[in-house]
Structures are given as C-alpha cells and as structure tokens.
C-alpha cells in the first residue's frame, strides 16, 4: 500500500465494515471524516482510560491489543465500553492483513461486549511491521474506583490463572515451527491456545463483588514487575512464596527454550489482586472455573521479599521485559 493516510475505499471495506458490535452508550462511532467518538454516561459515573502499544508480537496483534488494554480497565474495577485503534503499517503490508487485524479486533470486542469507537490507520516508512496502539475507554461508579493507594497492610495477594500466558501464546504463534522441532505438537498447540485465557474481565468482576483493595494486570516485567509496582504504588512491603506462584508447564518449557525468565515476562491474562480475604476470593474464583492462588501478603515494611524454601531474595526494580530478548 502507498505511504500516507489509508485511502477511503480501503478504509471502508477493510476497517469500517469490519466494525459491527454496538453499545448504547456510544453516541458517535467510527465513520469516514469522523475524527472523534462520543459517549453518554450517568451522572454518578467516571470515565477510566488506558492506552497500550503492541510491539512484542508479530501475529494476532488485533486480539492481543484488545485484551491487554481492556485488562487495564478491568484492573481499575471499570467496565470496558470501547477502544480507539491507531494502526501504523509499513508499505509492504497487503490490505488483506489489515482486514484480518480488524476482524480479529472486532471478534474480541464482540466477545467482551465493547465497541471499536474509532481511531486512525496510516501507511508509513517509520515502521517495518504493523504497530497497533489501543486506547481503552471504561466506566465505573465514582465510589467504586480503586487504585494502588487503597491497598492495606496485611492484605493477601492473589494471582489468577497462571503467569506468562501472554508471552507463551506470542512465542508459540511467532515461532511455531521452531518449537515443534523440539517439542510435541500437542505442547505447542496448547501453548498457542493460551490466548483463550488473556482476558481478566471475568475475575475482575468476581473480585469487585467479593471486595478488593486493588488489582493489577500483570503485563510488562511479569509477576516480579507487577509485585514491585504494586508495592511501590501502595508504599508497602510484600512477602511472597515463589513456589506458590502458579505457572503452566508449557510456559516453563517455552521460556527455557528461549532462555528467558518466566517471572519477568509479559503475563496479561493473569491478575494480581490485593484483598483482606484471599482464601475466600480463591474459593469464589474456583467456583467460576478460574484458577486462583494466594502467593503472599503485604506488610508495613519497605522490603519486597521473595522466598524460595530457605532462600530469601529481594525484588529488583523492573527492567526490560524478557520477551524483547526474543522478538
């Protein structure tokens, strides 16, 4: 495709026609010449916003982008309403790939009951592969808004599902042939299927009903990064049992193959939750078919401790995500 703004015929057939799901809050949505979206909210509601670029994946970025950004909204306790998509494409990309990206994004939006509100699509020389930036818009009752500042000393820390889900599915998709030379097809196919777990909206709803101090989507920097950020944001210490952090064997195998640390790698699909009653929350999650584990507690020190049996270590400040060593 030619450098510049996407031509109107291509915009209509490969972008706008792929957007079908609608919500009643949306007053103005995507259209030719329409640069802004408009939403209607109740008087006691607040708007929650989040934005994420997707640069660590070559495949399935339409799906991953929607999951990652709506997870941030869910971690704030908000109900996702819609997303704005900024798509930057190199000249070499064919229009059919753009159409697939939009179809993937729309399929997840339909699954999550949210709407693509608008955005921008451009062909440019400054990128060598498709780059997607997703801005999410959510809503919440003002009195229900939570932040890391609302975490209490002595809160249990719960991790949902398993760490490393996002990175595992990305690596399995982008390096499928290489992995199948080393591992059984069944292991690689299972790793790819982790995409089904990437939304944390279901567990966020259960957690909000149960009662939580705060939630944090485990993204760049993995579980260790999320623990550091939660402790830093709350100005509290944490004491964590490494052996209790849940991880799938497929993630262990894939990370060992690429020589990356699964505790420091992108983990969207897994939520870190601070709550007074971790055991009660885990019970409710398990009743809904969502795996949950209490991995530790907060405390009033400044120490961020990881215990592995008799070995004790302190968390380091988050560094570049391990996935970037591979991609």
Is there a single domain that holds both residue 119 and residue 247? Answer: no
Structure tokens at 155: 């809160």
Predicted confidence band of residue 35 (pLDDT cuts 50, 70, 90): confident
Predicted confidence band of residue 8 (pLDDT cuts 50, 70, 90): confident
Cα–Cα distance for residue pair 223/217, rounded to 1 Å: 9
Confidence check: pLDDT of 33 > 80: no
Say if residues 171 and 57 touch (Cβ distance below 8 Å).
no
Cα–Cα distance for residue pair 171/52, rounded to 1 Å: 19
State residue 38's pLDDT score. Answer: 85
Q: The domain containing residue 308 runs over which residues?
A: 148-325
Is there a single domain that holds both residue 99 and residue 61? Answer: yes
State residue 288's pLDDT score. Answer: 97
Q: What are phi and psi of 118, to 5 degrees?
A: 155, -160
Q: What are phi and psi of 109, to 5 degrees?
A: -60, -40
Averaged over 150-154, what is the pLDDT? Answer: 94
End-of-domain residue from the set 102, 122, 144: 144
End-of-domain residue from the set 101, 119, 144: 144
Q: Identify the sign of the CA torsion 115, 27, 10, 131.
A: negative
Q: Residue 273: CB partners within 8 Å, gap ≥ 6?
A: 157, 158, 159, 160, 203, 207, 212, 214, 215, 216, 281
Cα–Cα distance for residue pair 303/24, rounded to 1 Å: 47
Is there a single domain that holds both residue 140 and residue 184? Answer: no
First to last CA, the chain: 25
End-of-domain residue from the set 74, 109, 144: 144
- Average pLDDT score over the chain: 93
Is there a single domain that holds both residue 81 and residue 204? Answer: no
SS3 230: helix
Predicted confidence band of residue 232 (pLDDT cuts 50, 70, 90): very high
Say if residues 323 and 260 touch (Cβ distance below 8 Å).
yes
Is there a single domain that holds both residue 121 and residue 161? Answer: no
Is there a single domain that holds both residue 207 and residue 112? Answer: no
- How do 79-89 and 38-39 pair as beta strands? unpaired
Predicted confidence band of residue 2 (pLDDT cuts 50, 70, 90): confident
């Amino acid at each position: 495709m030619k450098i510049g703004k996407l031509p109107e015929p291509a915009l209509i057939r490969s972008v706008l026609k792929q957007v079908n799901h609608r919500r009643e809050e949306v007053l103005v949505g995507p259209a030719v010449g329409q640069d802004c979206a408009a939403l209607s909210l109740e008087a006691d509601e607040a708007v929650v916003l989040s934005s994420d670029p997707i640069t660590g994946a070559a495949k399935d970025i339409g799906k991953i982008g929607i999951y990652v950004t709506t997870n941030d909204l869910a971690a704030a306790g908000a109900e996702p309403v819609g997303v704005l998509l900024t798509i930057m494409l190199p000249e070499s990309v064919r229009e059919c790939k753009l159409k697939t990206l939009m179809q993937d994004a729309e399929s997840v939006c339909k699954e999550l009951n949210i709407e693509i509100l608008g955005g921008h699509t451009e062909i440019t020389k400054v990128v060598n592969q498709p780059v997607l930036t997703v801005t999410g818009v959510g809503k919440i009752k003002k009195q229900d808004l939570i932040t890391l500042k609302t975490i209490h000393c002595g809160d249990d820390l719960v991790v949902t599902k398993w760490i490393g889900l996002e990175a595992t599915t990305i690596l399995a998709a982008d390096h499928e042939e290489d992995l199948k030379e080393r591992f059984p097809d069944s292991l690689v196919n299972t790793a790819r299927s982790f995409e089904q777990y990437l939304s944390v909206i279901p567990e966020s709803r259960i957690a909000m009903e149960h009662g939580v101090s705060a939630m944090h989507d485990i993204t760049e920097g993995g579980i260790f990064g999320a623990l550091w950020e939660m402790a830093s944001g709350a100005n509290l210490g944490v004491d964590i049992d490494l052996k209790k952090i849940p991880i799938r064997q497929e993630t262990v195998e894939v990370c060992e193959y690429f020589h990356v640390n699964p505790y420091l790698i992108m983990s969207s699909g897994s939520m870190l939750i601070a709550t007074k009653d971790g055991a009660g929350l885990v019970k409710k999650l398990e009743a809904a078919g969502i795996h949950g584990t209490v991995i530790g507690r907060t405390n009033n020190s400044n120490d961020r401790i990881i215990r592995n049996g008799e070995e004790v270590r302190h968390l380091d400040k988050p560094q570049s995500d391990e996935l970037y060593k591979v991609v």
